[in-house]
Structure 1
Amino acid sequence: MSDKISASEALFGFMGWLTTRDETLMIGAQHECSPVADVVKEFCDANSLEEPRDNWHHHFVHPKEKRDDLT
């Protein structure tokens, strides 16, 4: 088994780390995104994760947002 962290392991690890921090991090369309980018970088640096590729945002799909008012 490889010691390299998979993408899903990084996501679960990052979210797990966020839930153990004393500081609250507000995430959403109504909040500034730079604090989120800062903690992502901190986690990536701590885990020796590679820098994002050029045009990285073209390589994934956003899940559709679930809306309670449509169910």
Structure 2
Amino acid sequence: MIIDIYSKIKIIGYTVVFVVTFSAPLALAAGPPQGVDSAVWCEQNADECSEWCAEHTEVDICQEPECD
């Protein structure tokens, strides 16, 4: 009886961890893909560009005022 309760709690715990892990959005912006002009990417993805530039201030496109 007690073993059944613990096994159900364990299953519920794993289910909660699984749902939380895979339903959470990614916190890191990946930046422009390789082979794509970063200026064009920043124009098309303004939110991702500003997040990415917050961590990559040394990149040329991040120095421009459009990316702020």
| TM-score normalized by the length of structure 1 | 0.22
Higher relative contact order (CA 8 A, sep 6+): 2
Higher helix share: 2
The two structures have a TM-score, normalised by structure 2, of 0.23
